[in-house]
C-alpha cells in the first residue's frame, strides 16, 4: 500500500485499512508517543489536560486514530486517540 494517502478522499473502510498499514509499519507503536498502540498511552501524555468540548462527539469511540495533516489532508501515522487529542489541542495537528 502506498502511503501517505489523502484522508479526506477515503471512505471509512479505506481509512481502517490505511490505519492498519501504519500500525504494521510502525511496529505496533504510536506515531506520537512511541508506546504500544494497543495499550494505553503513557502518563506523560495522559497527564495533559484536554478540553473535550473542542472535539467531535465519539472522538474516543475508536482507541486508535489515523493522524493526518488538517491542511493537506495527507495521512501521517496511527496514534492513540488521546495522543491525537494532544496533537490537535497542543500542536495544532
- Give the domains, in start order, of the chain with CATH numbers: 7-37+45-91 (3.40.1800.10)
Q: What is the mean pLDDT of residues 1-30?
A: 97
* pLDDT value at residue 77: 98
Nearest to 43 by CA among 35, 51, 31: 35
* pLDDT value at residue 59: 93
3-class secondary-structure state, position 7 = helix
The Cα 25–Cα 36 span in angstroms is 13
In terms of DSSP H, where are the helices of 6-51?
12-25, 43-46
Mean pLDDT of the chain: 96
The Cα 49–Cα 66 span in angstroms is 21
Amino acid at each position: 500500500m502506498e502511503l501517505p494517502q489523502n484522508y479526506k478522499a477515503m471512505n471509512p473502510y479505506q481509512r481502517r485499512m490505511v490505519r492498519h498499514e501504519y500500525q504494521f509499519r510502525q511496529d505496533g507503536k504510536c506515531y506520537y508517543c512511541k508506546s504500544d498502540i494497543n495499550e494505553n498511552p503513557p502518563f506523560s501524555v495522559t497527564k495533559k489536560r484536554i478540553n473535550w468540548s473542542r472535539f467531535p462527539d465519539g472522538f474516543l469511540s475508536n482507541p486508535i486514530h489515523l493522524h493526518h495533516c488538517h491542511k493537506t489532508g495527507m495521512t501521517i501515522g496511527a496514534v492513540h486517540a488521546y495522543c491525537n487529542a494532544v496533537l490537535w489541542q497542543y500542536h495544532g495537528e
